[in-house]
Amino acid sequence: MRVLHGAWDGADGLVVWAEDAALPPCADGRGTERADRADGPTRQAPPQHPYALSADALGALLTGLGAQRGDPAERRVLLPGSGAHPLPSPALGTLPGAPEVDHPRLHEWRVPCTALRGDRADRALALLDDGPPGDLALGPALRHLLSVRAFALRLAATGRVLPRLVGDPPQAVWRPVLQGADAEHLRALRTALPPSARALDTGAPGAEHANGTDPVYAALCALTDSAARSRSRGARPGGDRAGRHLAAALTRPSPAPLRAPAGTDLPGLAARLRDRHTAAERPSGARLVLRLVEPDPEHREPGAPERWRVEFWVRSAADPSLQLPLSDVWLGAGGAWLPHDVETRLLRELRRASRHFPPIRGALEELAPSAVETGTGGAYAFIRDAAPRLDAAGFAVVLPEGMDGSRLGLRLTVREGEQTGSGGGIGPSDLVDFSFEAVLGGAPVDMAELEELARLKQPLVRLRGRWVEVDPAHLRSALDFLRRRGSGRMRRDEALRAAAAPAGGGAPLPLVGVEADGPLGDLLAGAAEARLEPMDTPADFDGALRPYQRRGAAWLRFLGRLGLGAVLADDMGLGKTVQLLAVLTEERADGAAPGPTLLVCPVSLVGNWVREAARFAPGLRVHAHHGPSRPHGNALARTAGACDLVVTTYGVVTRDADELAALPWHRVVCDEAQAIKNPSTDQARAVRGLEADCRIALTGTPVENNLGELWSIMEFANPGLLGPRASFLRGAARIERGEGEEAERAAGALKRATGPFILRRLKTDRSIIQDLPDKNEFRTWCTLTPEQASLYKAAVEEMTRRLDETDGIQRKGLVLSTMARLKQICNHPAQFLGDGSALAGRSGKLERLEAVLQEALAEGDSALCFTQYAALGDRLAPYLSARLGAPVLWLHGGTPRPRREEMVRRFQEAREPMVFLLSLKAAGTGLTLTAANHVVHIDRWWNPAVEDQATDRAFRIGQRRDVQVRKLVCTGTLEERVDAMIERKKALAERVVGTGEDWLTELSTDELREVVRLAPEAVAR
């Protein structure tokens, strides 16, 4: 076992060193004199750390990971231990031969290390974030840096960065813009900085970021700069000469002195960029609104062109109902709620908006800009192009009432003839009758009306009393399309693609409706599983498929034969693994191998897939492609060609993207496909770049937070099916907001497009599975101790005092940080204080947890306990083990894969009852822990889907006993009230609460006070 440590050290960037458990311990007295005489001229040089990897071994380790070696050096680290021997990292455990240290103190040791600067540091962290090899663990400081990098990527991806000039000579760099929740997140990262991050003496504790000595902010700046450069690389700079030089410097791979034209006022430029950055981080009380106003037909002269207006308004950030047109602001009319410098701010915002809507530049030449006038073509461009860009940039855009984006579309009607097909009545080559017709809002539009619209050649036209977007070029093509291909016969697989594709299978207008009968209608309605003939259990398959698994395997096989992608979204524990292995076994039943299947999964599941394949499909040739010794080049091609199933990880696919994409895969499968739910990550792009005859996504949660995740998964399974992401997200926003008929139409179109390719069955459906035991859920009520109540009241009072002074994103950050504090207080005062103090007798929830576990163990039962806080788990594991007198296993994100698998095996095979304490994020998916029939949620995630996933570690196939699920709730606190709100508004919870705790920030001040207030019954007497 090896442990890799890292810390951020200013100009040296990422400094890493490593420990190796295989190295012999230091048992002599080296360093004793040095430890006893820590000052004075006779002080000895610190001794070499006995477990530290040598410089060559460290370089080989980094190279094996795919990172660069960096610049070798030797550093001094301050570590606990004795003067003769340091304590090994906790991840190494107890090492044989290591002397015991009764009273550890801090001592210096020399360690070989390497420094990675600029994009080399970012690349190394990216490789580690994808999952280190099984024999390598990450130290807490390095895991903390991965959290900082994730924050930096999010800031760069959302454009929350601005350029700055720093240093002498000046260098152009990107710096994060931290407001509200982002500033709170930085403070949380500072608070969570582990002590080991200071071992290399990289900064002063508690330093503010302005002085540059804070290692968290220094790392965030460097990693944000690297991420922003990567995203802006290839951009074409514009503007004047100085601006072009600045833009060019910001798109280089790493910072370098700015080469500005002669005569450039660099100090002035640096000051302007600094002021702009400071202003961006300052909260504003007003927001610019751009309102599109349609022409007034009563005031239009005959024959005159229609004139549209984009008016400029200002809206209160605290109360959106307070709005004023800018024409009134310039006259000083009203607006007592406006900030004193509103004019300056609005002009600055208009200049920023002009980058997304250039006509504003002309209005800025006026003394008091109030609107932009445009024709119908300009209004159309504003709706289609500028409005989405402005909205993404944070501006409010208001369109005319009733202009809901209704467009002309096509409706496809498909009728089955009497045919004989294969596969249970569905054959891909069978012919079906089809016809297209133009529709608007569900009503047919005849050819004469289409001819008139084409004659007008306008992108926005009035049709039947409503404004309709029409692309004139596409309209003439649509007429030709309807004349040439308006009806006829086509193959069933062609009809399926045409019905599911947003553009109607090559049609120039979007497809807005499908009517079909027979087997094709069932497929488009998502009922193909019931119509397909179930697949028999293959002869070489070691096991018996359940009826629903036979239908699911047949569905996978059917779509695969058509070359279409599938999303198998069965509930956790229904056997997605088994269904895929059955398909792989069945297609090789006659001896013909169709080519290898590449399966991509999280690193923690590689061993599980290999074992499950050996158990159910022993005839399959399986290769685990993972680790530093994995084959490359021709060796990889030969290995893959000789296999039926190649199991690899998302991290390996990201690192070896070009190599894996060049191989001829028959099928690519993504397990736990929510790993690619963010389409802009390198991981998702690398997986989408893999070519194959067909693709399958396996996931129990196709939508965890928002519909954008569904787009990403479907883009992998069936590229292009849902159209461009930007247009999809606009429609998804309407669905998620649930805005009347428009939302229903959008939801229907999305279901029609995705229904044929998504199969989801639930464990709670008795028609699917009858022999799964019951799941009984309970609320277990806890009371606060007086200490907890005192801390709780103080946190609520602080939030209440600050709530009226904040607005916008700052208010949101305050609410989220307060919720986190209150949840920690409800768990235990020691978790909130972070002072390492004693646990016993101070938390009502801990006492209740002990009682629940003692009862379960007394009955001879094992239990799973989930917490979202790794720091709490570190304290609870040894405490509970001592109090309960039973083994308590602890699995979290830093647990190496071999140790993780060993703990799972031990728990599943144990003859004695025990407790498995798990981090919700690290262990909420991908594990089978049916040895437990008790599940305890210590602290609530407030997302029912996430909690259900965790419960499903025990409540799945293989469980023979009823599962008891207990959710610990502190009575009279926010935990009880949020739980009640979720239960009262379950539908709302599934749509809104699914994003985590952000929905709480939308409550009014009075509602928040009601949620967090402490009731008298909350405190134990």
Angle made by CA atoms 8, 14, 16, in degrees to the nearest 5: 105
Has residue 282 got a pLDDT over 60? Answer: yes
- Across the chain, mean pLDDT equals 79
Question: What is the pLDDT, as a whole number, of residue 291?
Answer: 93
Q: What is the pLDDT of residues 741-753, one digit of tens each?
A: 555 656 666 776 7
> Do 801 and 809 meet the contact criterion of CB atoms below 8 Å apart?
no
Between 788 and 1000, the higher pLDDT residue: 788
Q: What is the pLDDT of residues 25-82, one digit of tens each?
A: 544 333 333 333 334 344 467 888 888 888 888 888 888 877 887 888 888 888 888 7
934 vs 862: CA distance, rounded Å: 7
Q: How many residues does the chain have?
A: 1021
Report how far apart, in Å, the C-alpha atoms of 671 and of each of 606, 698, 759 are.
10, 5, 15
Has residue 996 got a pLDDT over 60? Answer: no
β-bridge partners, 407: 469
Q: Domain limits of the chain?
A: 1-117, 139-277, 286-398, 409-524, 528-759, 775-1018
Task: Identify the three-state secondary structure at position 471.
Answer: coil
Question: What is the pLDDT, as a whole number, of residue 209?
Answer: 36
Q: What is the pLDDT of residues 380-429, one digit of tens each?
A: 888 878 887 887 677 888 887 656 555 677 888 888 765 544 444 445 56
Report how far apart, in Å, the C-alpha atoms of 272 and of each of 165, 217, 266, 276 are.
10, 22, 10, 6
User: 265: pLDDT confidence band, cut at 50, 70 and 90?
Assistant: confident
Question: What is the pLDDT, as a whole number, of residue 91?
Answer: 63
User: 916: pLDDT confidence band, cut at 50, 70 and 90?
Assistant: very high
Question: What is the pLDDT, as a whole number, of residue 100?
Answer: 67
> Do 131 and 602 meet the contact criterion of CB atoms below 8 Å apart?
yes
Has residue 799 got a pLDDT over 60? Answer: yes
> Do 145 and 121 meet the contact criterion of CB atoms below 8 Å apart?
no
- Other beta carbons within 10 angstroms of residue 362's beta carbon come to 12
932 vs 904: CA distance, rounded Å: 11
Question: What is the pLDDT, as a whole number, of residue 888?
Answer: 93
Question: What is the pLDDT, as a whole number, of residue 742?
Answer: 54
The 8 Å CB, 24+ separation contacts for 249-253 are 249/171, 249/172, 250/163, 250/172, 250/173, 250/174, 253/118, 253/119, 253/229
- Percentage, residues of the chain above pLDDT 90: 18
Has residue 822 got a pLDDT over 50? Answer: yes
- Percentage, residues of the chain above pLDDT 70: 78
280 vs 393: CA distance, rounded Å: 13
Between 277 and 420, the higher pLDDT residue: 277
Taking residues 467-488, report their average pLDDT. 78
User: 824: pLDDT confidence band, cut at 50, 70 and 90?
Assistant: very high
User: Rounded to a whole number, what is the largest CA-CA distance in the chain?
Assistant: 102
Has residue 963 got a pLDDT over 80? Answer: yes
User: 522: pLDDT confidence band, cut at 50, 70 and 90?
Assistant: low
488 vs 495: CA distance, rounded Å: 11
Question: What is the pLDDT, as a whole number, of residue 999?
Answer: 47
Q: What's this model's pTM, rounded to 2 decimal places?
A: 0.45
Question: What is the pLDDT, as a whole number, of residue 206?
Answer: 36
Count of alpha carbons within 13 angstroms of residue 550, beta-carbon side: 14
648 vs 634: CA distance, rounded Å: 17
Compute CA 823 distance to the chain's CA centroid, rounded to the nearest angstrom: 23
Which residues, 6 or more positions from 418, have their beta carbon under 8 angstroms from its beta carbon? none
Task: Out of 56-70, 252-266, 390-404, 651-665, pick the least confident.
Answer: 390-404
- Amino acid symbol at 428: P
Which of 20-29, 880-889, 983-992 is predicted most confidently?
Answer: 880-889
| Domains 528-759 and 775-1018 belong to one CATH topology | yes
509 vs 516: CA distance, rounded Å: 19
3-state helix, strand, coil split of the chain in percent (to 5) is 45, 20, 35
CATH architecture for the domain at 528-759: 3-Layer(aba) Sandwich (3.40)
Report how far apart, in Å, the C-alpha atoms of 91 and of each of 20, 94, 100, 135 are.
11, 9, 17, 11
Question: What is the pLDDT, as a whole number, of residue 627?
Answer: 85
> Do 985 and 947 meet the contact criterion of CB atoms below 8 Å apart?
no
- Quick one: 908 exposed, middle or buried, by C-beta within 10 A (0-12, 13-18, 19+)? middle
Question: What is the pLDDT, as a whole number, of residue 669?
Answer: 96
Measuring CA to CA, which residue among 63, 199, 223, 51 is closest to residue 133? Answer: 63
Has residue 1014 got a pLDDT over 80? Answer: no
β-bridge partners, 668: 598, 695
The 8 Å CB, 24+ separation contacts for 709-713 are 709/674, 709/677, 709/678, 710/754, 711/679, 712/676, 712/677, 712/678, 712/679, 712/684, 713/567, 713/670, 713/673, 713/674, 713/676, 713/677
The pair of three-digit structure tokens given for residue 711, joined into one six-digit string:
């787009």
One CATH from 3.40.50.720, 3.40.50.300, 3.40.50.1370, 3.40.50.1100 for 775-1018: 3.40.50.300
Question: What is the pLDDT, as a whole number, of residue 571?
Answer: 75
